[in-house]
Amino acid sequence: MAIRTIRIEDDEILRKKSRDVKEIDEKIITLLDDMAETMYDAEGVGLAAPQVGILKKVVVIDIGDGLIELINPVVIETRGEKLFEEACLSFPGQMGKVLRPEYAKVEALNRDGEKIVIEGEGVLAVALCHETDHLDGVLYVDKVIDGA
């Protein structure tokens, strides 16, 4: 495991779209391990692969309830709407209010290639949406309603 460098602010890679993972090989497993270590080291609750310079659809999340690993995640359902205070490891020291669904459901693969469904409310719903946005090159700062 290794801590990877987090790309920040106007780094162009953050704006690019990530590609589907076709095969979960050793490289992807190492990426998942490194991303988790990098997220914990930075005391974040989520990290997407483009943030460490890899344009692949890989996400890790831990809002305090344990590690969630998502490969090729797709948001398949959302409900409700709420303003949440958000931050991002790629924008250190910043926060902003974003309108997000109160509930989100995501379909993805786990590291064993099995289909999984993760659903959550509140902070988990926000993290699921925020991190999948990263894979489309979309950043929360684009969606901020009221900068803090």
Q: Which residues are catalytic?
A: 131
The minimum distance between CB 105 and Ni ion, in angstroms, equals 20
Evaluate the CA torsion angle 36, 2, 20, 96 in order and state its sign.
positive
The minimum distance between CB 21 and Ni ion, in angstroms, equals 19
Burial label, 79 (beta-carbon count in 10 A; 0-12, 13-18, 19+): exposed
Residues 30-89 that bind Ni ion (CB under 5 A): 88
Of the two residues 24 and 91, which places its CB atom closer to Ni ion in the complex? Answer: 91
Residues near 124 by Cβ (< 8 Å), separated by ≥ 6?
61, 63, 65, 104, 118
Pairing of strands 82-86, 96-100: antiparallel
Q: Is residue 106 part of the contact set for Ni ion (CB under 5 A)? A: no
Q: How many C-beta neighbours within 10 Å does residue 56 have?
A: 19
Of the two residues 68 and 88, which places its CB atom closer to Ni ion in the complex? Answer: 88
Q: With contacts defined by CB under 5 A, how many residues of the chain interact with Ni ion?
A: 1
Amino acid letter for position 108:
A
Of the two residues 7 and 82, which places its CB atom closer to Ni ion in the complex? Answer: 7
Position closest to Ni ion via CB: 88
The minimum distance between CB 88 and Ni ion, in angstroms, equals 3
Binding site for Ni ion (CB under 5 A): 88
